[in-house]
Structure formats: structure tokens, C-alpha cells
Amino acid sequence: MRSRLPKVLHRIAGLSMLGHVLNGVSEAGADKVVVVVGPDREDVSNEARRLRPDAVIVVQTERLGTAHACLMARSQLAEGFDDVLVVFADTPLVQAGTYQALRAKIHQGASVAALGFHAADPTGYGRFLLEGDSLTAIREHKDASEAERRVTLCNAGLMAFDGKQALAILDAVTNHNAQQEFYLTDCVAIAADRGLSVSYAVAVQQEVMGVNDRLQLSQAEQVMQRRLRDRAMLSGVTMIDPASVTLSHDTVLGRDVLIEPHCVFDIGVRIGDGSTIKAFSHCEGATIGPDCVVGPYARLRPGSELASHVRIGNFVELKNVALSEGVKVNHLTYLGDASVGSQSNIGAGTITCNYDGFAKHKTVIGTHAFIGSNSALIAPVTIGDGAYVATGSVITDDVPADALALARGRQVNKAGGAAGLRLKLSSKT
């Protein structure tokens, strides 16, 4: 990946690849998870525990192959689970149904089951060698005969075991190969030679793609985005230009939500029924109620909470703000660390001055208040219900309910002053 970040912590749709795999196996019914990590990889361990607090972390100090990695979980394998899945944190697109298909093969009597795919170009992949419906071996491309190389059913790497036989099969794997590594794929031939049933399941090639560089990461992102957009549209969301919309893995969109082109939804966004997100808007950590309109060119940052029928217009930025029902913030405004009561109107160019260089302070605006354009509200400050702040005001003190606040310099007109000023300035050029 050419990165300081471990490969499996690179994100797809806002979630680490490891996270996608943990979510998938959890959804598939895994009641115990063991994560094998390399030495000094507390960052990977912490991510696993964050997403699956009951995950057991084991360390593979020496990199001696995939079967060797599995044996780092020897004590867990010895518990004799009904079935054991061996999966990889750099194959983030595998879905729960595919994991369940592998588990089903074990429940149907197989001792080992491998996951395969039909490759458009099988060059470089291990081939599945079959006898009837049974898998007898996985032959690496370099070791395959000409006839075997014509096989297009290839190894995806994932495998399932009968939990009561997994440890014995893994212990039988040797490192008698050019790399002197213990290969998980050898488990197929070991089980077949012992007369045990070996089966396989098939996934589409795209689902089992591994991610080993930034190019493949971007390809996986595209696949995940298509899945998320398709799921949203099938649940009742309209997207005018789906390919231009970016979703997070946890984005929640209600029915009859309309999303215009070039919108981005980062982590932690929920949008209620009937709301519209106009073009070029960016939302993160925001909750948008029903029947709201946001954008175009709006930015909702973490902590933004919109009740129903709120209107956010162009070039408005919100952070840590609660807007009650019917609030309008239509143009060129920044609201931070604030709450606004129902039916209030915030004029163009309004700023809540919430940071003094050391700490954040809150602005409270009541119901049915009117904040005139180009106003600066110096927090901490409270604007009462029904209060009116005149355009261009700098508010430093609380404004009582139903009061009119004016805080600006008095205008002075000097007759003929413009002509005199022009004459003075032109004489200097």
C-alpha cells in the first residue's frame, strides 16, 4: 500500500477493510472471532476490539504461512466448534450470504469446504480440481499441468472446517515446498487423502477480490458504493445521478429522500423521510429530520441535528448545532455550538462567534426569532423568543424576548464629500 497505515486499516466507505470482514462474519452468525495479527500491531488489534469487543487477539510472531497463522488460534480451535471459517481481512467485499454458504457445506457433512470463483482469466490463480461434486485438491498455477490450467474455477482463499476436525487437519500441514511455508490450501488434499468429504462454494469474482494496493482499494470502493447506492434506491431513495453520490457504510436514508448530484455522506449520517439534499452538499455526523431541504453547497459537520421542515441553503456550514422545526438558514452562514428554536429565521452572512481562541461557547436562539443579515453573535449569548436582531449587528449581550436589538455604528452622510474625496485621491496618482 506504500503507507504508514496497515493494509487492513485502509477504509472503504468509511470503514476499515478489517471492519467490513468482521461485520460480515458477525452477520453470518459467528459467535466467536479470533483475529490473527502480526507483531507490534496494536493498531490492528484496537480496531478489531473497537468493532467486535469480544474478539480474541492472537499474534503470529513468525510469518510461516496461512496454515501456521490459523494455528496461532490453537486453544480456540481445540474448543471444537461446529464449524470454523478462515477469512482474510484484505477481502472486504465478501458478503454474509457467502460466508453462510461455506458454513452450509460443513453442516451438510463436509469436513473442509473452500470458496472458489470462475475467473475470466485464471492465470496466476490456484485451480480447483474436482471429482464429481467433491474437491480433491487446489493446484497452484505454477504447478498445474496444461489440462489443469484450462480450469477456470479458481481458489478465493477462504475456507471452512468441521470444528471438531480442524485442528487435526491443520496440524498435518507441512512446509515441504519452495517457500518453506505452511499453506492453508494443503488442507484440501490432506482431508481428501483421509477419505473425508471436501466440498466447495462459488462466489462471483468481484466479491472475492483482494486488496493489495491503492488501485485495488479504489476498485473495491467503487464496488461498495454501487452496493450501497443500489440498496438505498431499492428501499425508496431517489438519486438523480447515482454514480456521483458517495455514501458511508452506515448512512441511513429514509423513504422518498431525494439526493441530487455530487453529494457526499461521511460517517454517521441519518436522513428522515421526504428530505432533499441538493447538489454539492457534504454531510458528516449529522441527523436530518423529515421533509428538510439541505443545500446546494451546504456543509453539515458532526453534531448537526435538524428537526422536521428545516431549510438549509447554499454555502451554509453547521457544526454541533440543533435546529428546531421550521428553522430557515438560507444563505452564506456559519452556525457553531448553537441551538435555534422553531420557526426562527437566520439571515444571510450570520456568524455565531463560538471560539475565543481557548474555548468554545454556546449561542441560544429562541423560537420565532429573526436574525438580520450580516450579524455576528458573540457567544456565549442568548436571543430570546420572538426577538429581532437588526441587520449588520454585532451582538455581545443577551437579547430579551420580543426585543429589537441594534448594534451598529450610526450612518453619517457628508454632502459633496464624494467629489472632494475623488479630487484628493486623483491628485496623488
Alpha helices in 340-415, H assignment, sequence order:
none
> Which grid cell is 314?
447554499
**Closest by Cα among 37, 283, 230, 66 to 155:** 66
The rounded percent of the chain whose pLDDT value lies above 90 is 95
Per-residue cell: 20: 467490513
Give start and end residues of each alpha helix (H) in 206-299.
214-234
User: Known catalytic residue: 20?
Assistant: no
Helix (H, G, I), strand (E, B) or coil at 220: helix
Is residue 366 within 8 Å of residue 349, measured between CB atoms?
A: no
Torsion, Cα of 335, 341, 342, 345 (10° steps): -50
Entry pTM: 0.93
Taking the mean position of all CA atoms in its chain, how far away is CA 101?
25
Note the CATH architecture for domain 221-405: 3 Solenoid (2.160)
Q: Cell triple for residue 343?
A: 420557526
pLDDT value of position 248: 98
Determine the residue type at 399. V
Residue 26 Cα to chain centre, angstroms: 17
DSSP letters of 95-127?
Answer: -HHHHHHHHHHHHTT-SEEEEEEE-SS-TTSPE
Nearest-angstrom CA–CA distance, 258 and 17: 29
Can you give the pLDDT at residue 179? 84
| pLDDT tens sequence across 141-154 | 888 999 999 999 99
Distance CA(305)–CA(323), nearest Å, equals 6
Contact 274, 254 (CB under 8 A): yes
Average pLDDT for consecutive 10-residue bins of the chain (429 residues)? Answer: 97 98 97 96 98 97 96 96 97 98 97 97 94 91 92 97 97 91 94 96 97 98 98 98 98 98 98 98 98 98 98 98 98 98 98 96 98 98 98 97 95 93 88
DSSP helix/strand/coil, 377: strand
Calculate the alpha carbon distances from 5 to 40, 59, 123, 427 in Å.
13, 18, 30, 64
131 bridge partner residues: 134
Q: Say what the pLDDT of residue 143 is.
A: 86
> The domain 7-208: what is its CATH number?
3.90.550.10
Locate the domains of the chain by residue range. 7-208, 221-405
| Residue 120: Cβ within 10 Å count | 7
The answer to whether the 7-208 and 221-405 domains have the same CATH topology is no
Say how far apart CA 207 and CA 21 lie, in whole Å: 12
Longest alpha-carbon distance in the chain: 107
The Cα 260–Cα 404 span in angstroms is 39
Give the model's pLDDT for residue 140. 87
Catalytic residue among 141, 249, 331, 361: 331
